[in-house]
């Protein structure tokens, strides 16, 4: 099962982790130099909650933003 919200579809995003070394120019140095770039993941804040649907209780993987905004009704 993918790591995604079952209500809004929010899923994993990708970005970069950038490592910089050196002293900034405004602090008297020669400037920051990038010494490493690696890929990283930004994962959604998923919670397993029981929600009411069609008169029954269903377990869902829902992101915290959907819970806060009231898009689901907790059982």
Residue 61 maps to which CATH number? Answer: 2.20.150.30
Given this model, what pLDDT does residue 12 score? 97
Cβ neighbors of 44 (< 8 A, separation 6 or more) are 3, 4, 5, 10, 11, 12, 63
Residue 44 pLDDT = 97
Share of the chain above pLDDT 90, in %: 96
Its pTM stands at 0.76
Q: Does 25 map to a domain?
A: yes
Is 57 a residue whose pLDDT tops 80?
yes
* Distance in angstroms between the alpha carbons of the first and the last residue of the chain: 23
| Domain annotation covers residue 74 | no
pLDDT classification of 2: cutoffs 50, 70, 90: confident
Q: Is residue 4 part of a domain?
A: no
Q: What is the mean pLDDT of the chain?
A: 95
Domain ranges, residue 23: 13-69
């Amino acid at each position: 099962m993918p790591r995604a919200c079952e209500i809004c579809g929010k899923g994993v995003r990708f970005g970069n982790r950038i490592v910089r070394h050196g002293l900034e120019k405004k602090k008297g140095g020669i400037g920051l130099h990038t010494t490493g770039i690696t890929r990283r993941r930004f994962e959604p804040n998923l919670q397993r909650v029981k929600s009411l649907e069609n008169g029954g209780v269903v377990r869902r993987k829902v992101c915290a933003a959907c819970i806060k905004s009231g898009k689901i009704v907790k059982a």
